[in-house]
Amino acid sequence: MFITITRSMLRRVAAAAAAFAVVAALFMMFPQGKTEQTAAADGNWGLSFRAEGQQPEGNVSAGELRQWDAYYVGDPAEKVIYLTFDAGYENGCTAAILDALKKHSAPACFFVVGNYIDTAPELVLRMVQEGHIVGNHTLHHPDMSAIQDEVSFSAELDGLADKYRELTGEEMKKFYRPPQGKFSESNLAMAQKLGYRTIFWSLAYVDWYTDDQPTDEQAFSKLVPRIHPGAVVLLHSTSATNARILDELLAKWEALGYRFASLEELAGEKAE
């Protein structure tokens, strides 16, 4: 079979080739599809889990956060867990949590607000006496990302630190957790200027609704498979479930080869 190629056909082939070349050049200049974006340090803290047993991705990377002395996760090669508890008020659960931590020689950081120091001073003193960090969760628990001026921002952190000093006679260790995980780049910079390390988290679950607490099985199903090297775990001290399961939970994590460490280790400091 023979095909006769005419001049007209050749011209059409040449035109098509030229058009293809232009399109190819445009694709090289302006790549199509999803491109990697640098997350802006503004908004709500969020996580994306890729696989069980692996560190999740934050909506701001660990590398980006470090420029503001901020952290959400530790070394991906080391099976260490950093335990943190947000303590907005006392709900009768903290003593049992402290008992479990003591049993396992597990240091933790309790991020408290002004109301907590006012209403549960004996528990704050116990935290300190048993070697835990009492962290700064602000005086009034506002949306700190809505605060743009340094005076108002520092008043929330300094006010809480003043209460802590009055109670304990000691200076508060400068670890700060933004209420509700709401933050902005300017917040991170202001906290750093005040000498604080901002602490987010890499593992948490819905444990804060006191009238709708998860069952033990639901808690274990979230907290055991998703544990990962360098995990910064956020639990709420108001949770009856957490108080009930913590001893067993810590034992399960230890059985997986994990140890517990202070946030001072995460921040590259030597614990006192």
116-147 per-position pLDDT tens digit: 999 999 999 999 999 999 999 999 999 999 99
Q: At a CB cut-off of 8 Å and minimum separation 6, what does 62 contact?
A: 71, 72, 73
Q: Is 207 a catalytic residue?
A: no
Say if residue 188's pLDDT is above 70.
yes
Percent of the chain at pLDDT > 70 equals 84
| pLDDT band with cut points at 50, 70 and 90 for residue 42 | confident
Q: Which of 69, 86, 132, 141 is catalytic?
A: 86
Q: What is the pTM of this model?
A: 0.84
Tokens for 5, please give them. 């190629």
**Whole-number pLDDT of residue 40:** 59
**Whole-number pLDDT of residue 235:** 98
Q: Do residues 207 and 216 make contact, with C-beta atoms less than 8 angstroms apart?
A: no
Q: Is 86 a catalytic residue?
A: yes
User: What is the rounded distance in angstroms from the CA atom of residue 46 to the CA atom of residue 181?
Assistant: 8
Tokens for 204, please give them. 């948490």
Note the helical H segments in the chain. Answer: 7-29, 62-66, 94-103, 114-119, 121-129, 150-168, 185-193, 216-223, 240-255, 263-266
Pick from 72, 137, 130, 124: which is nearest to 101 by CA?
A: 130
Q: Which of 132, 137, 228, 236 is catalytic?
A: 236
The three-state secondary structure class of 47 is: strand
**Whole-number pLDDT of residue 21:** 41
Backbone φ and ψ of 7, nearest 5°: -60, -35
191-229 per-position pLDDT tens digit: 999 999 999 999 999 999 999 999 999 999 999 999 999
